A and B are shown apart, each in its own frame.
Chain A
Amino acid sequence: MTRMHSRLLRSARVAAIAGFIALFAAAANALGLPPAYAPMVVEPAIVAGRSEFDLGPALARAKREKKRLYVYLGASDCPYCRRYENFLGKNSEELVPHFRPWIVVDLRSTLSTTADKLAIRVGDSVLNYTEFQRSIGDQRARMLVYPSVWLFDTQLKPLMQMPAGNGTFETVDEQLEILNLVQ
Protein backbone atom coordinates (compact mmCIF):
# COMPACT_ATOMS: atom_id res chain seq x y z
CA MET A 1 0.00 0.00 0.00
CA THR A 2 1.45 3.38 -1.02
CA ARG A 3 1.76 6.25 1.40
CA MET A 4 -0.94 8.06 -0.53
CA HIS A 5 -3.35 5.10 -0.27
CA SER A 6 -2.67 4.89 3.42
CA ARG A 7 -3.41 8.60 3.84
CA LEU A 8 -6.61 8.31 1.81
CA LEU A 9 -7.72 5.34 3.87
CA ARG A 10 -7.07 7.23 7.08
CA SER A 11 -9.02 10.23 5.74
CA ALA A 12 -11.88 7.97 4.75
CA ARG A 13 -11.96 6.41 8.21
CA VAL A 14 -11.95 9.87 9.84
CA ALA A 15 -14.73 11.00 7.51
CA ALA A 16 -16.76 7.87 8.30
CA ILE A 17 -16.34 8.34 12.05
CA ALA A 18 -17.24 12.04 11.74
CA GLY A 19 -20.28 11.03 9.71
CA PHE A 20 -21.42 8.58 12.39
CA ILE A 21 -20.89 11.18 15.10
CA ALA A 22 -22.87 13.73 13.10
CA LEU A 23 -25.64 11.19 12.55
CA PHE A 24 -25.88 10.32 16.23
CA ALA A 25 -25.79 13.99 17.16
CA ALA A 26 -28.58 14.68 14.70
CA ALA A 27 -30.60 11.79 16.09
CA ALA A 28 -30.09 13.09 19.63
CA ASN A 29 -31.29 16.51 18.52
CA ALA A 30 -33.88 15.32 16.01
CA LEU A 31 -36.46 17.92 15.21
CA GLY A 32 -39.94 17.60 16.62
CA LEU A 33 -41.54 15.29 19.13
CA PRO A 34 -40.08 11.78 19.32
CA PRO A 35 -41.72 9.12 17.12
CA ALA A 36 -42.47 7.02 20.23
CA TYR A 37 -45.35 9.42 20.96
CA ALA A 38 -46.78 8.89 17.46
CA PRO A 39 -47.28 12.61 16.92
CA MET A 40 -49.48 13.98 14.15
CA VAL A 41 -47.01 16.34 12.51
CA VAL A 42 -48.61 19.51 11.18
CA GLU A 43 -46.51 21.64 8.86
CA PRO A 44 -47.83 25.15 8.25
CA ALA A 45 -49.40 26.32 5.04
CA ILE A 46 -47.98 29.71 4.13
CA VAL A 47 -50.96 31.94 3.39
CA ALA A 48 -50.48 35.67 2.82
CA GLY A 49 -47.13 35.56 4.59
CA ARG A 50 -48.57 33.81 7.65
CA SER A 51 -47.89 30.29 8.85
CA GLU A 52 -51.28 28.66 9.10
CA PHE A 53 -51.59 25.48 11.17
CA ASP A 54 -54.68 23.40 10.55
CA LEU A 55 -55.98 21.71 13.69
CA GLY A 56 -59.04 20.35 11.85
CA PRO A 57 -57.72 16.85 11.07
CA ALA A 58 -56.40 16.37 14.62
CA LEU A 59 -59.69 17.51 16.09
CA ALA A 60 -61.65 15.19 13.82
CA ARG A 61 -59.45 12.30 14.88
CA ALA A 62 -59.81 13.22 18.56
CA LYS A 63 -63.60 13.11 18.19
CA ARG A 64 -63.46 9.83 16.33
CA GLU A 65 -61.17 8.17 18.87
CA LYS A 66 -62.64 9.99 21.89
CA LYS A 67 -59.23 11.22 22.95
CA ARG A 68 -57.85 14.48 24.21
CA LEU A 69 -55.45 16.67 22.23
CA TYR A 70 -51.91 17.43 23.39
CA VAL A 71 -50.91 20.19 20.97
CA TYR A 72 -47.23 21.10 20.96
CA LEU A 73 -45.88 24.14 19.14
CA GLY A 74 -42.15 23.91 18.60
CA ALA A 75 -39.67 25.87 16.50
CA SER A 76 -36.88 24.33 14.45
CA ASP A 77 -34.35 26.86 15.77
CA CYS A 78 -35.42 26.91 19.41
CA PRO A 79 -33.03 25.26 21.92
CA TYR A 80 -35.74 25.07 24.58
CA CYS A 81 -37.84 23.05 22.14
CA ARG A 82 -34.97 20.61 21.58
CA ARG A 83 -34.53 20.32 25.33
CA TYR A 84 -38.18 19.37 25.85
CA GLU A 85 -38.17 16.99 22.88
CA ASN A 86 -35.03 15.34 24.20
CA PHE A 87 -36.59 15.05 27.63
CA LEU A 88 -39.59 13.28 26.11
CA GLY A 89 -37.29 11.06 24.07
CA LYS A 90 -35.20 10.05 27.06
CA ASN A 91 -38.24 9.20 29.15
CA SER A 92 -40.46 7.72 26.47
CA GLU A 93 -40.59 4.27 28.07
CA GLU A 94 -42.07 5.71 31.23
CA LEU A 95 -44.19 8.45 29.68
CA VAL A 96 -45.66 6.99 26.49
CA PRO A 97 -48.23 4.83 28.36
CA HIS A 98 -49.52 7.97 30.07
CA PHE A 99 -49.94 9.71 26.73
CA ARG A 100 -52.33 6.98 25.47
CA PRO A 101 -55.51 8.98 26.23
CA TRP A 102 -54.04 11.82 24.17
CA ILE A 103 -53.49 12.50 20.50
CA VAL A 104 -50.17 14.27 20.33
CA VAL A 105 -50.01 17.01 17.70
CA ASP A 106 -46.67 18.50 16.67
CA LEU A 107 -46.96 21.96 15.09
CA ARG A 108 -43.66 22.71 13.34
CA SER A 109 -42.72 26.37 13.36
CA THR A 110 -39.69 28.68 13.51
CA LEU A 111 -38.69 31.45 15.90
CA SER A 112 -39.19 34.01 13.16
CA THR A 113 -42.87 33.06 13.16
CA THR A 114 -44.01 35.64 15.66
CA ALA A 115 -47.52 36.02 17.01
CA ASP A 116 -48.65 38.19 14.10
CA LYS A 117 -47.33 35.64 11.60
CA LEU A 118 -48.92 32.55 13.11
CA ALA A 119 -52.50 31.49 12.53
CA ILE A 120 -54.62 28.55 13.61
CA ARG A 121 -57.22 27.08 11.28
CA VAL A 122 -60.14 24.97 12.49
CA GLY A 123 -62.57 24.24 9.67
CA ASP A 124 -63.44 27.54 8.01
CA SER A 125 -62.23 29.63 10.92
CA VAL A 126 -58.72 31.07 10.74
CA LEU A 127 -57.52 33.16 13.67
CA ASN A 128 -54.14 34.71 14.29
CA TYR A 129 -52.33 33.66 17.46
CA THR A 130 -53.69 36.43 19.67
CA GLU A 131 -57.26 36.07 18.40
CA PHE A 132 -57.11 32.31 18.80
CA GLN A 133 -55.83 32.58 22.38
CA ARG A 134 -58.52 35.09 23.25
CA SER A 135 -61.19 32.94 21.65
CA ILE A 136 -60.33 30.04 23.95
CA GLY A 137 -59.76 32.21 27.02
CA ASP A 138 -56.04 31.43 27.19
CA GLN A 139 -54.04 33.91 29.28
CA ARG A 140 -51.03 33.51 27.01
CA ALA A 141 -52.54 35.83 24.39
CA ARG A 142 -50.11 38.59 25.23
CA MET A 143 -46.92 36.90 24.13
CA LEU A 144 -46.05 33.87 22.00
CA VAL A 145 -43.43 31.72 23.65
CA TYR A 146 -41.72 28.68 22.09
CA PRO A 147 -42.36 25.93 22.95
CA SER A 148 -46.01 26.02 23.95
CA VAL A 149 -48.48 23.28 24.76
CA TRP A 150 -52.27 23.31 24.73
CA LEU A 151 -54.51 20.64 26.21
CA PHE A 152 -57.90 20.36 24.51
CA ASP A 153 -60.96 18.20 24.78
CA THR A 154 -62.81 16.98 21.69
CA GLN A 155 -64.65 20.31 21.44
CA LEU A 156 -61.35 22.24 21.38
CA LYS A 157 -62.07 23.50 24.87
CA PRO A 158 -58.90 24.02 26.94
CA LEU A 159 -58.66 21.53 29.80
CA MET A 160 -56.27 23.63 31.83
CA GLN A 161 -54.46 26.96 31.65
CA MET A 162 -50.93 26.10 30.56
CA PRO A 163 -47.78 28.10 31.24
CA ALA A 164 -45.78 29.90 28.58
CA GLY A 165 -42.86 27.61 27.77
CA ASN A 166 -42.35 24.07 28.96
CA GLY A 167 -39.68 24.64 31.61
CA THR A 168 -42.00 23.65 34.45
CA PHE A 169 -42.68 20.15 33.15
CA GLU A 170 -39.36 18.69 32.17
CA THR A 171 -39.28 16.01 34.82
CA VAL A 172 -41.33 12.83 34.64
CA ASP A 173 -43.34 13.74 37.75
CA GLU A 174 -44.15 17.17 36.41
CA GLN A 175 -45.05 15.86 32.96
CA LEU A 176 -47.46 13.49 34.71
CA GLU A 177 -48.91 16.46 36.64
CA ILE A 178 -49.70 18.06 33.29
CA LEU A 179 -51.25 14.90 31.85
CA ASN A 180 -53.31 14.47 35.02
CA LEU A 181 -54.41 18.11 34.84
CA VAL A 182 -53.03 18.93 38.28
CA GLN A 183 -53.56 22.62 38.94
Chain B
Amino acid sequence: MTMKQPPIHRRRLLLGLAALPLAAAPAARAAIGGLPSNTGHTDTSPEWEQLRGKIFGTRPISATSGRVQMIAPLRAAYGASVPVKIVSQLPQTPELYVKRMYVLVDKNPSPLAATLELTPEIGQADFETRLRVDEYSHVRVVSELSNGELHMDSRYVKTSGGCSAPPNRDSPELIGRTVFKLPEPPKMNAPTTADITVIHPNDTGFELNNVTVMFIPSYFVRTIAVSYAGRKIFDADLDFSISENPTWRFNFVPHAPGELRAEVEDSKERHYTGRLAVG
Protein backbone atom coordinates (compact mmCIF):
# COMPACT_ATOMS: atom_id res chain seq x y z
CA MET B 1 0.00 0.00 0.00
CA THR B 2 1.22 3.47 -0.67
CA MET B 3 1.72 5.99 2.02
CA LYS B 4 -0.52 9.01 1.82
CA GLN B 5 1.65 12.05 1.32
CA PRO B 6 1.29 14.89 3.80
CA PRO B 7 -1.35 16.99 2.15
CA ILE B 8 0.15 20.35 1.42
CA HIS B 9 -3.28 21.90 0.93
CA ARG B 10 -4.14 21.01 4.51
CA ARG B 11 -1.05 22.64 5.85
CA ARG B 12 -1.87 25.74 3.90
CA LEU B 13 -5.39 25.58 5.26
CA LEU B 14 -4.04 25.35 8.81
CA LEU B 15 -1.74 28.28 8.29
CA GLY B 16 -4.66 30.18 6.90
CA LEU B 17 -6.82 29.24 9.85
CA ALA B 18 -4.12 30.30 12.29
CA ALA B 19 -4.15 33.72 10.68
CA LEU B 20 -7.90 34.12 10.78
CA PRO B 21 -8.81 37.68 11.68
CA LEU B 22 -10.88 37.07 14.75
CA ALA B 23 -11.81 40.71 14.88
CA ALA B 24 -13.98 40.06 11.84
CA ALA B 25 -15.79 37.22 13.60
CA PRO B 26 -19.14 37.75 15.32
CA ALA B 27 -18.50 39.33 18.70
CA ALA B 28 -18.15 36.78 21.51
CA ARG B 29 -20.79 37.29 24.11
CA ALA B 30 -19.74 37.45 27.73
CA ALA B 31 -21.85 36.34 30.64
CA ILE B 32 -21.76 37.86 34.08
CA GLY B 33 -18.53 36.77 35.67
CA GLY B 34 -16.62 36.92 32.39
CA LEU B 35 -17.47 33.47 31.06
CA PRO B 36 -18.69 33.19 27.49
CA SER B 37 -22.40 32.57 27.12
CA ASN B 38 -22.08 30.17 24.17
CA THR B 39 -21.36 27.22 26.44
CA GLY B 40 -24.26 25.03 25.33
CA HIS B 41 -23.06 21.83 23.74
CA THR B 42 -24.66 22.66 20.41
CA ASP B 43 -23.85 26.37 20.41
CA THR B 44 -21.73 27.93 17.73
CA SER B 45 -18.59 29.99 18.26
CA PRO B 46 -16.86 32.75 16.29
CA GLU B 47 -14.01 30.33 15.60
CA TRP B 48 -16.39 27.67 14.28
CA GLU B 49 -18.12 30.15 11.99
CA GLN B 50 -14.74 30.98 10.45
CA LEU B 51 -13.68 27.34 10.21
CA ARG B 52 -16.95 26.30 8.70
CA GLY B 53 -16.58 28.77 5.85
CA LYS B 54 -12.96 27.84 5.23
CA ILE B 55 -13.51 24.08 5.22
CA PHE B 56 -17.07 23.58 4.01
CA GLY B 57 -17.89 26.81 2.23
CA THR B 58 -21.63 27.32 2.01
CA ARG B 59 -22.58 23.63 2.11
CA PRO B 60 -25.42 22.94 4.55
CA ILE B 61 -24.45 21.09 7.74
CA SER B 62 -27.15 19.36 9.75
CA ALA B 63 -26.62 19.55 13.49
CA THR B 64 -29.90 17.88 14.42
CA SER B 65 -30.05 14.70 12.34
CA GLY B 66 -28.48 12.48 14.99
CA ARG B 67 -26.42 10.76 12.28
CA VAL B 68 -23.26 11.31 14.31
CA GLN B 69 -22.66 11.78 18.03
CA MET B 70 -19.70 13.30 19.84
CA ILE B 71 -19.21 12.08 23.41
CA ALA B 72 -16.76 14.00 25.63
CA PRO B 73 -16.61 14.88 29.33
CA LEU B 74 -17.61 18.37 30.43
CA ARG B 75 -14.36 18.40 32.44
CA ALA B 76 -11.59 15.94 31.69
CA ALA B 77 -8.95 14.83 34.15
CA TYR B 78 -6.26 16.52 32.04
CA GLY B 79 -6.67 19.08 29.25
CA ALA B 80 -3.77 17.43 27.46
CA SER B 81 -5.71 14.20 27.17
CA VAL B 82 -9.44 14.63 26.76
CA PRO B 83 -11.11 11.35 25.79
CA VAL B 84 -13.62 11.67 22.96
CA LYS B 85 -15.83 9.10 21.34
CA ILE B 86 -17.52 9.46 17.97
CA VAL B 87 -20.55 7.28 17.29
CA SER B 88 -22.16 7.02 13.86
CA GLN B 89 -25.84 6.13 13.62
CA LEU B 90 -25.31 4.73 10.14
CA PRO B 91 -23.90 1.34 9.10
CA GLN B 92 -21.11 1.54 6.52
CA THR B 93 -22.56 0.03 3.35
CA PRO B 94 -21.28 0.54 -0.20
CA GLU B 95 -24.56 2.30 -0.98
CA LEU B 96 -24.25 4.91 1.77
CA TYR B 97 -21.38 5.36 4.18
CA VAL B 98 -19.42 7.91 6.13
CA LYS B 99 -16.75 8.95 3.67
CA ARG B 100 -14.90 11.54 5.71
CA MET B 101 -14.83 12.81 9.28
CA TYR B 102 -13.46 16.07 10.57
CA VAL B 103 -12.58 16.42 14.26
CA LEU B 104 -12.23 20.01 15.42
CA VAL B 105 -11.40 21.88 18.60
CA ASP B 106 -12.69 25.41 17.99
CA LYS B 107 -10.27 27.31 20.21
CA ASN B 108 -7.07 25.34 19.75
CA PRO B 109 -4.17 27.06 17.99
CA SER B 110 -4.61 24.48 15.24
CA PRO B 111 -8.32 23.67 15.39
CA LEU B 112 -8.53 20.90 12.78
CA ALA B 113 -7.32 17.99 14.89
CA ALA B 114 -8.00 15.18 12.42
CA THR B 115 -9.45 14.40 9.03
CA LEU B 116 -10.34 10.75 8.53
CA GLU B 117 -10.92 9.22 5.09
CA LEU B 118 -13.07 6.14 5.56
CA THR B 119 -14.14 3.16 3.48
CA PRO B 120 -17.06 0.74 3.87
CA GLU B 121 -14.42 -1.78 5.08
CA ILE B 122 -14.56 -0.08 8.47
CA GLY B 123 -17.98 -1.63 9.09
CA GLN B 124 -19.07 0.92 11.64
CA ALA B 125 -17.67 4.46 11.65
CA ASP B 126 -17.11 4.78 15.39
CA PHE B 127 -13.85 6.16 16.75
CA GLU B 128 -12.26 6.96 20.07
CA THR B 129 -9.18 9.07 20.65
CA ARG B 130 -7.73 11.68 23.01
CA LEU B 131 -7.46 15.36 22.22
CA ARG B 132 -5.51 18.29 23.55
CA VAL B 133 -7.98 21.01 24.45
CA ASP B 134 -6.17 24.26 25.16
CA GLU B 135 -8.99 26.20 26.79
CA TYR B 136 -12.77 26.18 27.18
CA SER B 137 -13.94 25.12 23.76
CA HIS B 138 -16.39 23.20 21.68
CA VAL B 139 -15.10 19.97 20.22
CA ARG B 140 -16.89 18.95 17.03
CA VAL B 141 -17.20 16.15 14.58
CA VAL B 142 -18.48 16.68 11.07
CA SER B 143 -19.36 13.53 9.11
CA GLU B 144 -19.44 13.70 5.36
CA LEU B 145 -21.53 10.93 3.83
CA SER B 146 -20.86 9.35 0.46
CA ASN B 147 -23.93 11.16 -0.88
CA GLY B 148 -22.36 14.49 0.05
CA GLU B 149 -24.46 15.24 3.14
CA LEU B 150 -22.72 16.86 6.12
CA HIS B 151 -23.78 16.05 9.69
CA MET B 152 -22.34 17.53 12.86
CA ASP B 153 -22.36 17.08 16.60
CA SER B 154 -20.44 18.99 19.27
CA ARG B 155 -19.72 19.09 22.99
CA TYR B 156 -18.51 21.93 25.15
CA VAL B 157 -15.42 20.97 27.13
CA LYS B 158 -14.01 22.89 30.07
CA THR B 159 -10.30 22.63 30.50
CA SER B 160 -7.15 24.69 30.45
CA GLY B 161 -3.48 24.30 29.69
CA GLY B 162 -3.76 21.22 27.52
CA CYS B 163 -1.27 22.43 24.99
CA SER B 164 1.36 23.22 27.55
CA ALA B 165 1.11 20.10 29.69
CA PRO B 166 4.47 18.32 29.75
CA PRO B 167 4.68 15.37 27.41
CA ASN B 168 6.24 12.11 28.43
CA ARG B 169 9.79 11.85 27.12
CA ASP B 170 10.98 8.96 29.24
CA SER B 171 11.78 6.69 26.29
CA PRO B 172 12.74 8.65 23.16
CA GLU B 173 14.07 5.47 21.56
CA LEU B 174 10.50 4.20 21.40
CA ILE B 175 9.22 7.12 19.29
CA GLY B 176 7.35 5.76 16.32
CA ARG B 177 6.64 2.35 17.79
CA THR B 178 3.21 1.48 16.41
CA VAL B 179 1.13 -1.10 18.20
CA PHE B 180 -2.22 -2.68 17.38
CA LYS B 181 -4.42 -4.34 19.97
CA LEU B 182 -7.72 -6.16 19.68
CA PRO B 183 -9.72 -5.71 22.89
CA GLU B 184 -11.80 -8.75 21.93
CA PRO B 185 -11.24 -11.70 19.58
CA PRO B 186 -11.94 -10.87 15.92
CA LYS B 187 -15.36 -11.58 14.42
CA MET B 188 -15.29 -12.66 10.81
CA ASN B 189 -17.61 -10.68 8.52
CA ALA B 190 -18.62 -8.34 11.34
CA PRO B 191 -17.22 -5.09 12.74
CA THR B 192 -14.26 -5.91 14.97
CA THR B 193 -12.82 -3.31 17.30
CA ALA B 194 -9.11 -2.51 17.25
CA ASP B 195 -6.79 0.01 18.89
CA ILE B 196 -3.74 1.58 17.33
CA THR B 197 -1.20 3.52 19.38
CA VAL B 198 1.84 5.35 18.07
CA ILE B 199 4.42 6.17 20.74
CA HIS B 200 5.17 9.81 19.99
CA PRO B 201 5.46 13.07 22.01
CA ASN B 202 3.23 14.90 19.52
CA ASP B 203 4.87 18.15 20.61
CA THR B 204 2.77 21.21 19.99
CA GLY B 205 5.56 23.77 19.64
CA PHE B 206 3.99 25.82 22.44
CA GLU B 207 5.78 24.19 25.33
CA LEU B 208 8.86 25.61 27.01
CA ASN B 209 11.78 23.38 27.86
CA ASN B 210 12.33 24.11 31.54
CA VAL B 211 16.09 23.59 31.23
CA THR B 212 16.91 25.51 28.05
CA VAL B 213 13.97 27.95 28.40
CA MET B 214 13.45 27.49 24.65
CA PHE B 215 10.25 26.40 22.98
CA ILE B 216 10.29 22.74 22.06
CA PRO B 217 9.69 22.61 18.29
CA SER B 218 6.46 21.04 17.15
CA TYR B 219 6.90 17.38 16.28
CA PHE B 220 3.85 15.28 15.74
CA VAL B 221 2.29 12.38 13.89
CA ARG B 222 0.99 13.72 10.62
CA THR B 223 -0.64 10.69 9.00
CA ILE B 224 -1.73 7.17 9.86
CA ALA B 225 -2.92 4.88 7.06
CA VAL B 226 -4.58 1.67 8.25
CA SER B 227 -5.29 -1.31 6.01
CA TYR B 228 -6.39 -4.89 6.48
CA ALA B 229 -5.33 -7.65 4.12
CA GLY B 230 -4.17 -4.98 1.67
CA ARG B 231 -7.46 -3.10 1.65
CA LYS B 232 -7.70 0.43 2.99
CA ILE B 233 -9.64 0.81 6.24
CA PHE B 234 -9.01 4.49 6.89
CA ASP B 235 -6.43 7.23 6.43
CA ALA B 236 -6.00 9.79 9.17
CA ASP B 237 -4.51 13.22 8.55
CA LEU B 238 -3.55 14.46 12.00
CA ASP B 239 -2.24 17.36 14.00
CA PHE B 240 -0.78 18.13 17.42
CA SER B 241 -4.27 18.64 18.79
CA ILE B 242 -4.19 14.86 19.18
CA SER B 243 -2.69 13.93 22.56
CA GLU B 244 0.80 12.49 22.92
CA ASN B 245 1.07 8.82 21.98
CA PRO B 246 -1.83 9.16 19.52
CA THR B 247 -4.30 6.36 20.00
CA TRP B 248 -7.34 5.53 17.90
CA ARG B 249 -10.00 2.92 18.53
CA PHE B 250 -11.74 1.94 15.31
CA ASN B 251 -13.58 -0.92 13.64
CA PHE B 252 -12.81 -3.07 10.64
CA VAL B 253 -14.52 -6.07 9.03
CA PRO B 254 -12.24 -9.08 8.55
CA HIS B 255 -13.53 -11.51 5.93
CA ALA B 256 -10.63 -13.93 6.35
CA PRO B 257 -7.40 -14.11 8.33
CA GLY B 258 -5.07 -11.27 7.34
CA GLU B 259 -2.78 -8.54 8.56
CA LEU B 260 -3.71 -5.22 10.07
CA ARG B 261 -1.10 -2.76 8.92
CA ALA B 262 -0.42 0.87 9.70
CA GLU B 263 1.87 3.21 7.84
CA VAL B 264 2.72 6.23 9.96
CA GLU B 265 4.52 9.41 9.06
CA ASP B 266 5.45 12.24 11.41
CA SER B 267 6.26 15.90 10.84
CA LYS B 268 9.97 15.11 10.40
CA GLU B 269 8.90 12.80 7.55
CA ARG B 270 9.98 9.74 9.49
CA HIS B 271 8.06 6.59 8.59
CA TYR B 272 6.96 3.86 10.93
CA THR B 273 5.02 0.65 10.40
CA GLY B 274 2.83 -1.40 12.71
CA ARG B 275 1.46 -4.87 11.99
CA LEU B 276 -0.82 -7.40 13.63
CA ALA B 277 -1.82 -10.81 12.29
CA VAL B 278 -5.55 -11.36 12.74
CA GLY B 279 -7.42 -14.68 12.67
Contacts and interface: CB of A to CB of B under 8 A. Distances in A.
Interface string B148-161: 00000000001111
A164 B35 contact: no
B94 interface: no
B77 A164 contact: yes
Chain A interface residue count: which class?
A: 20 to 34
Chain B contact surface mostly: loop
B33 A172 contact: yes
A96 B160 CA distance: 26
A139 interface: yes
A44 interface: no
Contacts of B34: 171
Chain B interface residue count: which class?
A: 10 to 19
Contacts of B158: 163, 168, 174
A143 B35 contact: no
Interface string A84-126: 0000000000000000000000000000000000000000000
Contact of B76 (A142, A143, A163): A163
A182 B74 contact: yes
A140 B74 CA distance: 16
A138 B77 CA distance: 8
A161 interface: yes
Nearest to A163: B75
A165 B79 CA distance: 10
Given A172-B33, A173-B35, A183 B73 contact: yes
Given A139-B78, A183-B73, 17 more contacts: A138-B77, A139-B77, A140-B77, A161-B76, A162-B77, A163-B75, A163-B78, A163-B79, A164-B77, A165-B161, A167-B160, A168-B75, A171-B33, A174-B35, A174-B158, A183-B74, A183-B75
Interface of B: 33-35, 73-79, 136, 158-161
Interface of A: 138-140, 142-143, 161-165, 167-169, 171-174, 177, 182-183
